Structures are given as structure tokens and as C-alpha cells.
Amino acid sequence: MTKEFWNDRYAGSEFVYGILPNQYFSEEISKLNPGKLLLPCEGEGRNAVFAVSKGWDVTAFDQSEKAKEKCLQLAGEKASQIKYSILKAETLPYQNHTFDCIALIFSHFPTGSRKQIHQQLIKMLKPNGRIILEAFQPKQLGLPSGGPKEADMFYSIKLLKDDFSELKFHSINYETIHLAEGPFHQGKAEVIRMVADKV
């Protein structure tokens, strides 16, 4: 999706994916001691604001200027605690061994750049750092609860095991869930969930 698409989606006053954190993210991040967290494709900031409230040092990025505006609005007086940049995932400026955790929540990258982005993110993790991922899997195609419209943008267990092969997997599973995240994530959804550590 283009920057123009996302700026248009985020242009209104409504938070299109809600203001509460993603359930899987909130459950998994709460198991960890706070440290440095990277949130790619963070959108309107629901996960960033939650993580800051739990003591995390949060860095986030998105390609949409409107997304950043909404995030800082949602954060209110905590806005200065979120380092939010306007970036494309293909041009990340972060140093290797920087983050204790990277959370990819519905961050779907194009086939041509996906593996390279995932490999770059691994390099940015500290040793023993963790990746938390929730994304749509192929059975989501056609469901009205969100996700890409192109079949090759969905993630499978095989694909993620290949992209993140150097990590130690704690869990990687398909799940059928009910989403209730603002107007664009509502209803039955077919997702893949992953937790893996850099060793």
C-alpha cells in the first residue's frame, strides 16, 4: 500500500484500528522486562502508547504522516516519550544490536522486499532479543475483518520459519480469532502468531 493510501485511511478523527493495544501484543510484551522496543508500521500508535505506559523505551515508524499525527495525539502528554519517524521499512536507519524487542503487528511487506526487511530487523535485535509477530495468513483472503488484498502478501509458517531461520522459535501457530480493533479490524480473522528469540 502507498503512503497516499495510508494517509487517506488515517485522515479522519476516528482511530481506524482502535485505541487499545493489539491483544496478542499486549499479552506477550507484558511477559518481558521493559527495554528498548521497535514498532514497525505502527500506524496510529495504539501499541506504542500501551508500551510506554508499561515502561518501554519506544521507537516507532510508519510511512504515513497522518499516522504519526494520530499517534502523538493519542499519546497526549506521553508523546515526547515515543520516537516516531516517517520511514519506509526498506530504508531503516537503526543500528545493529539496538532493540530488546521488535513487535510486528499486521506489518505485511511486499514479496520483493519482505525477507530483506525481516533479516535487517534481526540484525537490529540485541542478543537474546525477541520478535513478537501477529499477521494475517492465507485463509484470511476474502474475509471482511482486514488484511491485504493480494494473496502473496499473506504469511505462512513455512515463510516465517525461512525468513527468521536463525532465531529460536518459542511458538509459531495459525489461529482463528475474533478481532475487535476499530472499524477496519472487526470479526472472524485467520492469523499467524509467532514469538522467537535471537540467540
Check residue 2 and give its pLDDT: 85
* Residue 118 near residue 164 (C-beta atoms within 8 A): yes
Structural domain of 39: 3-198
| pLDDT grade for 186, boundaries at 50, 70 and 90 | very high
Q: Tell me the DSSP string of 28-75.
A: HHTTS---EEEETT-TT-HHHHHHHHTT-EEEEEES-HHHHHHHHHHH
Note the pLDDT tens digit of each residue in 49-73: 999 999 999 999 999 999 999 999 9
1 pLDDT above the threshold of 80: no
- pLDDT above 80: residue 197: yes
Q: What is the pLDDT of residues 29-53, one digit of tens each?
A: 999 999 999 999 999 999 999 999 9
Q: What percent of the chain has pLDDT over 70?
A: 100
State the chain's maximal CA–CA distance in angstroms: 43
pLDDT value for 3: 87
Give me the number of domains the chain comprises.
1
Q: Return the pLDDT at 78.
A: 86
Q: CB under 8 Å to 165, separation ≥6 — which residues?
A: none
Q: What integer pLDDT is reported at residue 55 of this predicted model?
A: 96
* pLDDT of 104 higher than 90: yes
Confidence class for position 189, pLDDT limits 50, 70, 90: very high
Q: Which of 112, 132, 115 is nearest to 27 (CA)?
A: 132
Write out pLDDT tens, residues 106-143. 999 999 999 999 999 999 999 999 999 999 999 999 99
CATH label of the domain that carries residue 187: 3.40.50.150
Mean pLDDT in residue range 163-185? 97
H-run or E-run covering 197: strand 185-198
For the beta carbon of residue 195, count every other beta carbon within 10 angstroms.
19
The structure's pTM equals 0.96
